[in-house]
């Protein structure tokens, strides 16, 4: 603990000295969330990355998030604590395979979930996040043909909610699809008074039975504002840190993972690669730095900027 306190003091000192800002996703370790300048969902984090006056962004999340920050703020240095912090959704869509897939549907518009590489964003017309996917799809003419990538669960959810027929890329989040149907059913039977709230990266059967579906920020707001005191939370367990802090009197139960998971609840192994020590090193050495080739960046920028414009 003494070591952690030293690290936190050093991180705060370096942050001032270098005019750096720490952005963190709700899924990273609580100790990192506690020293971040801004914590949020993917949309909020992108908006912050685009607007920050800092010279350096230290992005505690996963690689595609740092990359999106660099796409939006090319003149700032963007570093992430661990270059290996990837994402199964981003990995599911290699650019060459996706380009070939897209070529089969020349009259389709491409909407990509922000959980993808800058190369995929460069092949995309409009990026979306879990908090604006419905709004973005609904903003398009009813007869617009759409490819939705890379998350098939979010895509199915959006198709269901909007009544559209979307062409889906078959990607998934390893964390959200690993929530155990059987254990969840048992938990619901034991807690009949709990509301089930879920992230749209969950499988269809969970989303169909959920009382509320939203992004991480949406789920956090829901437990804060909805007049109910018991929730089963079907998303990565990191979100419980802020939830517990803001509504300590409410009972929050993380949805159970299958036995494949190292944790009884759902943990993202990539998000958990972020540690205070790696954060300190990233600030000190200003690496690993995110670099995006300018031709890719410009094309990716167009699709991310369209999303930000539509989300105002």
User: Annotated binding site, which residues?
Assistant: 25, 42, 87, 113-115, 130, 173, 199-201, 216, 268
Residues 186 to 205: which contact ligand 13P by CB under 6 A? 199, 201
Residue 7 or 44: the one with the smaller Cβ distance to ligand 13P is 44
User: From ligand SF4, ligand 13P, none, which one binds at residue 129 (CB under 5 to 8 Å depending on kind)?
Assistant: ligand 13P
User: From ligand SF4, ligand 13P, none, which one binds at residue 174 (CB under 5 to 8 Å depending on kind)?
Assistant: ligand SF4
- Record the tokens describing residue 32, joined without a space: 């990192």
Binding residues (CB under 6 A) for ligand SF4: these are 27, 62, 87-89, 115, 173-175, 201, 236, 268, 270-271
Report d(CA 92, CA 27) in Å as an integer. 20
Q: DSSP E strands: which ranges in 2-159?
A: 20-25, 38-40, 56-60, 77-79, 109-113, 126-128, 146-149
User: From ligand 13P, ligand SF4, none, which one binds at residue 270 (CB under 5 to 8 Å depending on kind)?
Assistant: ligand SF4
User: From ligand 13P, ligand SF4, none, which one binds at residue 215 (CB under 5 to 8 Å depending on kind)?
Assistant: ligand 13P
Q: C-beta of 45: minimal distance to ligand 13P in Å?
A: 8
Q: Which parts are annotated binding residues for iminosuccinate?
A: 25, 42, 113-115, 130, 199-201, 216
Is position 29 an interface residue for ligand 13P (rule: CB under 6 A)?
Answer: no
Number of residues lying near ligand 13P (CB under 6 A): 10
User: From ligand 13P, ligand SF4, none, which one binds at residue 113 (CB under 5 to 8 Å depending on kind)?
Assistant: none
Question: DSSP readout, 258-280?
Answer: -TTSSSSS---TTGGG--HHHHH
Residues 6+ apart with CB under 8 A from 311: 43, 47, 131, 132, 135, 136
Asked if 241 and 30 count as a contact pair (C-beta separation under 8 A), the reply is yes
Of 48, 88, 124, 216, the one binding ligand 13P (CB under 6 A) is 216
Is position 215 an interface residue for ligand 13P (rule: CB under 6 A)?
Answer: yes
User: From ligand 13P, ligand SF4, none, which one binds at residue 98 (CB under 5 to 8 Å depending on kind)?
Assistant: none
Residues 32 to 51: which contact ligand 13P by CB under 6 A? 41-42
Residue 154 or 159: the one with the smaller Cβ distance to ligand SF4 is 154
Is position 153 an interface residue for ligand 13P (rule: CB under 6 A)?
Answer: no
3-state DSSP call for residue 33?
helix
3-state DSSP call for residue 149?
strand
Residue closest to 72 by CA, chosen among 95, 90, 45? 45
Q: Name the phi and psi angles at 27, rounded to 5.
A: -90, -10
Bond prior to 288 in cis (omega within 30° of 0) = yes
Q: Which parts are annotated binding residues for [4Fe-4S] cluster?
A: 87, 173, 268
Question: DSSP readout, 214-268?
Answer: --HHHHHHHHHHSS-SEEEEES-TTHHHHHHHH-TTSEEEEPPB-TTSSSSS---
User: From ligand 13P, ligand SF4, none, which one binds at residue 88 (CB under 5 to 8 Å depending on kind)?
Assistant: ligand SF4
Residues 84 to 143: which contact ligand 13P by CB under 6 A? 115, 129-130
Residue 108 or 306: the one with the smaller Cβ distance to ligand 13P is 306
Q: Is the dihedral angle over the CA atoms 52, 57, 61, 65 positive or is it negative? A: positive
Q: What is the CA radius of gyration of the chain?
A: 19
Which residues form the interface with ligand 13P (CB under 6 A)?
41-42, 115, 129-130, 173, 199, 201, 215-216
């Amino acid at each position: 603990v003494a070591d952690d306190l030293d690290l936190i003091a050093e991180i705060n000192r370096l942050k001032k000295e270098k005019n750096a800002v720490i952005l963190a996703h709700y899924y990273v370790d609580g100790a990192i969330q506690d020293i971040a300048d801004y914590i949020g969902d993917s949309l909020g984090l992108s908006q912050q990355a685009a607007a920050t006056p800092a010279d350096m962004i230290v992005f505690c999340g996963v690689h595609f998030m740092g990359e999106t920050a660099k796409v939006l703020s090319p003149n700032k240095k963007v570093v992430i604590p661990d270059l290996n912090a990837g994402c199964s959704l981003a990995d599911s869509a290699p650019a060459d395979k996706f380009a070939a897939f897209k070529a089969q549907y020349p009259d389709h518009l491409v909407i990509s979930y922000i959980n993808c590489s800058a190369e995929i964003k460069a092949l995309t017309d409009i990026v979306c996040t879990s908090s604006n996917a419905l709004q973005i799809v609904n903003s398009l003419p009813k007869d617009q043909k759409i490819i939705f990538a890379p998350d098939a669960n979010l895509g199915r959810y959006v198709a269901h909610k909007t009544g559209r027929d979307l062409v889906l890329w078959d990607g998934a989040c390893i964390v959200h699809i690993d929530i155990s149907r059987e254990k969840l059913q048992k938990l619901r039977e034991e807690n009949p008074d709990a509301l089930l709230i879920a992230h749209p990266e969950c499988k269809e059967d969970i989303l169909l039975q959920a009382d509320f579906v939203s992004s991480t920020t949406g789920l956090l707001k829901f437990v804060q504002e909805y007049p109910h005191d018991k929730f089963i939370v079907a998303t990565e367990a990191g979100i419980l840190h802020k939830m517990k802090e803001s509504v300590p009197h409410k009972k929050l139960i993380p949805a159970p993972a299958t036995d494949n998971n190292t944790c009884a609840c759902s943990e993202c192994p990539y998000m958990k690669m972020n540690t205070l020590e790696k954060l300190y090193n990233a600030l000190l050495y200003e690496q690993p730095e995110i670099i995006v080739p300018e031709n890719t960046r410009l094309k990716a920028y167009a699709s991310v900027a369209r999303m930000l414009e539509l989300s105002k």
